[in-house]
């Protein structure tokens, strides 16, 4: 057996460095997702009807691509904005042919995440 | 019969040594239970360099993932190998290159619990085949089934992944025994401490243990610190793998492995 003490020391060093990272404590993101603040809600604008989806399981920035792919495939969606921290997805719907609740529900389903609830007209 | 040098390539750094980990927040050398969405495509390009005594090699695996459904992903990995070996008796240096065995895998999610906006735990099964490349000197010359599973838990700034894979070597011979690959990985989001709509990039510190036990008694375990920079569309990551345990009688012991990787999502 060959054991490299330097390897173990390096690994422990990195682990300790990670644990000692300073900054504000992480925000607990479990529980009621609607309780989270949302920057998206403050910046999002739409002229026609809107919908808000609350999505759970968006573990990282790359997950947004999954949601984008599915929402972009719906004709009745004009544009949208995803707030990763809160899981809030603000959607501007087409005035003539707005996406239905079922279409929005299916889109989140196909993206591989859990839809907590929909706020839509 | 394959030389020990060839075996180092075929058994040690072939497609089995690569991973189905091609999502965004994912370990570098281990698998992850996250998947692209239906119709989604992820391409991962790796560059791995290792030295094993007189052998030096670059392995360049390219992995393509396709989301057939949100819970079913197809993966194909093709590894190119560029190697150099110094012949001890003559001092001569031989260089050649080729295509190692390809890996085709399916990843099927059997459990999902999204328990917060950025929190999830998932379990996926992996199954597929290591396919002979037919490139003499780089291939195992067999079709070897692979089965396994991977679990991922992501919560706040922390993520944990664990996988177990088994490869049935169908070619026979003591040096070509069945292989068990096992990995555990911990990711810590170094920055940002909290996502906002304008902070859609993240930097992760990664620490992995990557092991492989062959049924002929060969056992190898690496500790693999790394760093991963994740944006919405792409991920850039680097790692070094250092051996902490090597009991090898049938293939060469790698002194270290350095890996760089780029993933892009469509």
Q: What is the pLDDT of residues B50-69, one digit of tens each?
A: 999 889 999 999 999 999 99
What is the number of domains present in chain B?
1
What are the distances in angstroms from CA B206 to CA A14, B88, B245? 9, 38, 20
Q: What's the pLDDT score for residue B109?
A: 97
More confident residue, B15 or B131: B131
Q: What is the DSSP-derived secondary structure letter of residue B196?
A: B
Which tokens go with B214? 């062959």
Contact A81 B197 (CB under 8 A): yes
> Could you give all domains of chain A from N- to C-terminal order, each with its CATH number?
38-119 (3.30.70.100)
Contact A70 B38 (CB under 8 A): yes
Contact A30 B119 (CB under 8 A): yes
| B7: pLDDT strictly greater than 60 | no
Contact A62 B25 (CB under 8 A): yes
Question: What burial letters (b/e) apply to A70-91, b meaning 16+ CB within 10 Å?
Answer: bbeebebbbebbbbbbbbbbbb
| Residue B27 CB-half CA count within 13 A | 34
Q: What is the pLDDT of residues B75-93, one digit of tens each?
A: 999 999 999 998 888 888 9
Which residue in A has a C-alpha nearest to residue B202's C-alpha? A61
Task: Say how far apart CA B185 and CA B109 lie, in whole Å.
Answer: 19
**What residues have CB less than 8 Å from A112, skipping those under 6 apart?**
A57, A66, B34, B35, B36, B37, B38, B67, B70, B71, B109, B112
Contact A64 B159 (CB under 8 A): no
Of B158, B123, B113, B116, the residue nearest B34 (C-alpha):
B123
Q: What is the pLDDT of residues B120-166, one digit of tens each?
A: 999 999 999 999 998 988 888 889 999 999 999 999 999 999 999 99
A31 in the Ramachandran plot: left (φ > 0), alpha (ψ -120 to 50) or beta? left
Contact A39 B197 (CB under 8 A): yes
Residue B22: pLDDT band (50, 70, 90) is low
Residue indicated by tokens 């991922």: B152
Is the CA virtual torsion B120, A75, B74, B66 positive or negative? negative
C-alpha distance from B130 to closest chain A C-alpha (Å): 27
- The C-alpha angle with vertex A62 and arms to A59 and A66, in degrees rounded to 5, equals 95
**Chain A to chain B Cβ contacts (< 8 Å):** 184
With a cut of 0.90, is the ipTM above it?
no
Average pLDDT rounded to a whole number, residues B108-130: 96
Which residue in B has a C-alpha nearest to residue A29's C-alpha? B116
Residue B4: pLDDT band (50, 70, 90) is low
Residue numbers in B near A23 (CB within 8 A): 193
Test mutation, B68, B70, B117, B122, chain A, max A CBs within 10 A: B117
C-alpha distance from B113 to closest chain A C-alpha (Å): 8
Residue B1: pLDDT band (50, 70, 90) is very low
Q: What's the pLDDT score for residue B33?
A: 95
Average pLDDT rounded to a whole number, residues B231-238: 95
Task: Say how far apart CA B158 and CA A48 lie, in whole Å.
Answer: 39
| Residue B127 CB-half CA count within 13 A | 5
Which residue in A has a C-alpha nearest to residue B154's C-alpha? A59
Q: Determine the number of helices (DSSP H) and then strands (DSSP E) in chain B.
A: 1, 13
Of B9, B11, B16, the residue nearest B174 (C-alpha):
B11
Residue B219: pLDDT band (50, 70, 90) is very high
For residue B59, the enclosing domain spans 4-265
Task: Say how far apart CA B137 and CA B128 lie, in whole Å.
Answer: 23
For position B35, which CATH number holds?
A: 2.40.160.40
More confident residue, B13 or B238: B238
Question: Residue B171: exposed, middle, or buried by beta-carbon count in 10 A (0-12, 13-18, 19+)?
Answer: middle
Residue indicated by tokens 């990985």: B185
Contact B118 A60 (CB under 8 A): yes
Q: Taking the mean position of all CA atoms in its chain, how far away is CA B162?
A: 13
Average pLDDT rounded to a whole number, residues B188-197: 87
Residue B209: pLDDT band (50, 70, 90) is very high
Residue ranges, chain A, pLDDT below 70: 1-42, 121
Residue B42: pLDDT band (50, 70, 90) is very high
| Residues B66, B85 contacting (CB under 8 angstroms) | no
Q: What's chain B's average pLDDT? A: 89
Which tokens go with B213? 């036990």
Which residue in A has a C-alpha nearest to residue B243's C-alpha? A4
Q: What's the pLDDT score for residue B90?
A: 86
Residue B19: pLDDT band (50, 70, 90) is low
Residue numbers in B near A30 (CB within 8 A): 115-116, 119, 155
Phi, psi for B221 (deg, rounded to 5): -135, 130
Residue B119: pLDDT band (50, 70, 90) is very high
| Residues A46, A92 contacting (CB under 8 angstroms) | yes
Of B109, B244, B265, the CB nearest to A62: B265
B217 in the Ramachandran plot: left (φ > 0), alpha (ψ -120 to 50) or beta? left
Q: What's the pLDDT score for residue B171?
A: 82
């Amino acid at each position: 057996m060959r054991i490299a003490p330097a390897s173990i020391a390096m690994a422990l060093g990195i682990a300790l460095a990670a644990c000692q990272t300073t900054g504000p404590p992480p925000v607990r993101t479990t529980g009621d997702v609607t309780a989270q603040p949302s920057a998206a809600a403050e910046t999002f604008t739409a002229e026609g009807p809107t919908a808000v989806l609350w999505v759970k399981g968006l573990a990282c920035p790359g997950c947004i691509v999954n949601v984008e792919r599915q929402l972009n495939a719906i004709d009745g969606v004009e544009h949208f904005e995803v707030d990763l921290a809160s899981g809030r997805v603000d959607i501007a719907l087409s005035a003539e042919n707005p996406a239905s609740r079922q279409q929005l529900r299916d889109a989140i389903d196909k993206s591989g995440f859990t839809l907590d609830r929909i706020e839509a007209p | 019969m394959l030389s020990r040098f060839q075996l180092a390539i075929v058994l040690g750094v072939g497609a089995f040594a690569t991973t189905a980990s091609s999502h965004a927040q994912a370990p570098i050398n281990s698998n992850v239970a996250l998947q692209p969405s239906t119709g989604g495509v992820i391409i991962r390009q790796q560059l791995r360099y290792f030295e094993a005594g007189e052998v030096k090699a670059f392995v360049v695996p390219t992995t393509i993932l396709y989301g057939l459904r949100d819970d079913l992903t197809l993966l194909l990995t093709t590894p190119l190998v560029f190697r150099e070996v110094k012949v001890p008796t003559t001092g001569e240096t031989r260089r050649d290159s080729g295509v190692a065995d390809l890996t085709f895998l399916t990843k099927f999610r059997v459990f999902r619990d999204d328990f917060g906006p950025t929190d999830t735990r998932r379990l996926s099964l992996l199954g597929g085949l290591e396919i002979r490349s037919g490139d003499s000197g780089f291939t195992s010359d067999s079709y070897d089934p692979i089965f396994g599973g991977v679990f991922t838990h992501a919560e706040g700034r922390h993520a944990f992944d664990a996988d177990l894979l088994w490869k049935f070597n169908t070619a026979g011979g003591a040096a070509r025994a069945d292989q068990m690959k096992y990995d555990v990985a911990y990711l810590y989001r170094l920055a940002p401490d909290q996502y906002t709509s304008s902070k859609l990039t993240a930097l992760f510190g990664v620490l992995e243990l990557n092991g492989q036990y062959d049924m002929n008694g060969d056992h190898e375990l690496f500790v693999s610190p790394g760093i991963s920079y994740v944006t919405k569309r792409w991920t850039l990551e680097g790692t070094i793998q250092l051996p902490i345990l090597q009991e090898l009688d049938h293939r060469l012991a790698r002194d270290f492995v350095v890996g760089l990787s780029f993933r892009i999502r469509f």
